[in-house]
Amino acid sequence: MKYYSISFPGEFGQHVDEIWSEDQIIDSYYKYWSGKMIENVPSCDLCRKNCIEDWCVVHWAIEVPKPDWLD
């Protein structure tokens, strides 16, 4: 399983870093993403890999090693 890091400003201006697993991305994004793909892209490929790649682009995510705290 791969992991991805995203950074963004928090509600009170703080710096927020999150690490997402591929499964977390699919669980939270696939339904929305696949619906938009079906609406807008003829003959779209709704595979897991494409969903994760698009999520990474939208969130400016970078792949990171598995966090130690997950062991």
**Whole-number pLDDT of residue 71:** 76
The answer to whether position 11 is within a domain reads no
The answer to whether position 6 is within a domain reads no
13: left (phi over 0), alpha (psi -120 to 50) or beta: left
The answer to whether position 58 is within a domain reads yes
The answer to whether position 55 is within a domain reads yes
List C-alpha distances in Å: 49 to 11, 14, 45.
Answer: 31, 32, 10
Q: For the chain, what is the domain count?
A: 1
Average pLDDT, the chain: 95
DSSP designation for 66: P
Can you give the residue range of the structural domain that contains 51?
Answer: 19-63
> What would the pLDDT profile of 2-30 be if each residue is shown by its tens digit?
999 999 999 999 999 999 999 999 999 99
Phi, psi (degrees; rounded to nearest 5) at 53: -60, -45
**Whole-number pLDDT of residue 70:** 82
The answer to whether position 71 is within a domain reads no
The answer to whether position 45 is within a domain reads yes
pTM score, whole prediction? 0.88
H or E element at residue 70: none
The answer to whether position 48 is within a domain reads yes
The answer to whether position 57 is within a domain reads yes
